[in-house]
Amino acid sequence: MTNEELASGAAPAVDTQPVLLLRDIAFNDVATLLGRYGLALERVADATAIPGSYWGAPEAGLIGNVVFVRDDTPVHSLLHEAAHLIVLPAERRAAVHTDATDSIEEEDAVLVLQALLADELPGVGAARTLADMDAWGYTFRLGSAQAYVEQDAQAAWMFLHRLGLVTPARQLLLPA
C-alpha cells in the first residue's frame, strides 16, 4: 500500500486471487510465534466484527498486546498487525487501539518484518506472504512487495536492526 493510500484511509483493493487465510494454517503455530514477542492471538467468531481492526473485517485488529483475528483473516494481515506491535516499545504497545502508528519509518519496517515472521510459520513463508500482499492490493514503487523488501527497503532493514530484531545479514532474531 502506498503512503498516499495509507494517508487517505482508503480500504485496500482486493484482487480475486486467493490469499492464505488463518484457517489454512495452524492457529497454535501463529499463537506460539506471537507469544515469543509477548503478544496474544485471539480468535473471534466468524461473521462478527474484529475488535481493533483498522480496515474492518476480515483484516486483523489490535488492542494493546492482542492481535484479533477470524478464520477468514488473511495471514499477511495478522502478521502485519503483529509486526506493528513488535516494533513498538512496551509503553507505546500497551496504548495501541486499532491504529498502531502514523510513522512511515515504522510502517516500512513492518512490511519487511511481516515477511520475516512468515518464514517462521510452517506452510506460509516470505514468498507466499509477499505474493499475497501484492494480490491484496499493496503497491510499491518497484512493482511488488518482494522487490521492495529486496531492493528498496534499506531504511526499513536499518530500523529493524537498530531495534535488535534482525542481524546485519538481514536474518530475523527471535526472542528466547
Q: For the whole model, what pTM was predicted?
A: 0.87
25-65 pLDDT, tens digit each: 999 999 999 999 999 999 999 999 999 999 889 999 999 99
107-155 pLDDT, tens digit each: 999 999 999 999 999 999 999 999 999 998 877 888 888 998 999 999 9
Asked if 100 and 84 count as a contact pair (C-beta separation under 8 A), the reply is yes
**Cell 512493482 belongs to which residue?**
143
Beta bridge partners of 166: 172
Which is nearest to 116 in space by CA: 161, 172, 156, 75?
A: 172
Domain extents in the chain: 3-11+18-162
Q: If you ran DSSP here, which 8-state letter would residue 42 be given? A: E
The whole-angstrom distance between residue 122's C-alpha and the CA centroid of its chain comes to: 16
Interatomic CA distance for residues 39 and 21, integer angstroms: 20
Helices (H) and strands (E) in the chain, counts: 8, 3
Which is nearest to 157 in space by CA: 148, 146, 166, 147?
A: 166
